[in-house]
Amino acid sequence: MRIIQYYFLLYLVVPGESVRDTEYCCTYCSRRRTHTVCKYPKAGIGKDCVRFIRGSLIDKERTSLLNMHNSLRQLIAQGKIKQQPQGSNLVEMIWDDELEFIAKRWNDQCIYAHDDCRNSLRFVVGQNIAYTFSKTAESMTQFWFDEYLITPQSLINNMTEIEVFVKLSGEMKKRDSGHFTQIAWANSYRLGCSVNVQFVIPDFKTTIMCDYGPAGNILNTPVYKIGKGCSDCPVGTECSKRFPGLCAMKCSKLYPFFCEGYGSASTIFPFSKFYVITVSL
């Protein structure tokens, strides 16, 4: 007799369900990794935090970080980055409350590293992190983007590696270009960031974490398509009016995931459960 187990992933839409009630422990990660919100189910400051000052964004900061990302992507789409080819299919980003929620839960632990799993039910999620003692979150976003200076153009057509060799002080050394390629990743259209500030004598330490969906830096995949800005926009998008050169999402019943409110805490959000059926043969 053989016993076979069938695993069914059932998605139910529960009225009033918010991102904070979603079951992150069930469906988001592989068996070897634990989702951040599952590992830290309760909001609050982690044991590794020192003189924690603040950990929440205000709307003005969200808008600033979002506009910063879109402005940098627009530079690529308009061909204003001489070291890199012009991009034809970069999508205008919109803010995502769920990604901010997940990023904040991890950033509140004050552990300076990438978390094991931060995925959403909608997509795999990428991440950039940085800290500074004197600069703003926006300047650190520029710092990530400036890796375009060391990113070979060949990686744009085919992402084969994240670390690249550059010549520094006469020696070839490895440097990370993955922050730039994540910001420039054409299909990453959702952004959510978290900023925390700690007082580390004698200065203030600011840590920024930005989560991107769908994730970029997928090996053997183009970062973006080369061509005139907004000339090869994905299905469901059109040329952006706010950021000419980028492709803006069309919000409609056919493409609800492109709407700005989709993924917010007030959205009716998918609720997921695993069901196991055992059959004896």
pTM score, whole prediction = 0.81
- Domains in the chain with CATH codes: 3-280 (3.40.33.10)
Sorted by sequence, the CB contacts under 8 Å of residue 121 that are 6+ apart come out as: 11, 22, 27, 28, 270, 272
Q: Which DSSP letter does residue 11 get?
A: E
- Closest C-alpha among 214, 19, 29, 184 to residue 115: 29
Residue 38 CB neighbours (<10 A):
16
Whether the Cβ atoms of residue 160 and residue 220 lie closer than 8 Å to each other: yes
- Closest C-alpha among 174, 146, 162, 164 to residue 221: 162
Q: Which residue has the tokens 């034809």?
A: 88
Instruction: Kindly give the confidence (pLDDT) of every residue in the chain, 281 residues in length, as a single tens digit, with 9 standing for 90 and above.
Output: 444 433 333 333 333 334 554 678 876 788 788 999 999 999 988 898 888 888 889 999 999 999 999 999 999 999 999 999 999 999 999 999 999 999 999 999 999 999 999 999 899 999 999 999 878 899 999 999 999 999 999 999 998 876 655 544 455 456 788 999 999 999 999 999 999 998 887 888 899 999 999 999 999 999 999 999 999 999 999 999 999 999 998 875 555 555 665 555 444 233 333 333 333 34
pLDDT value, residue 269 = 37
Q: Which DSSP letter does residue 21 get?
A: G
d(CA 105, CA 109): 7
d(CA 222, CA 226): 9
C-alpha 73 chain-centroid distance: 14
DSSP assignment of 66-78 equals: HHHHHHHHHHHHT
d(CA 239, CA 231): 8
Q: Compute the CA torsion angle 205, 210, 216, 219 (nearest 10 deg).
A: 30
148: left (phi over 0), alpha (psi -120 to 50) or beta: alpha
pLDDT value, residue 160 = 83
Residue 133 CB neighbours (<10 A):
10
Q: Which residue has the tokens 């744009």?
A: 156
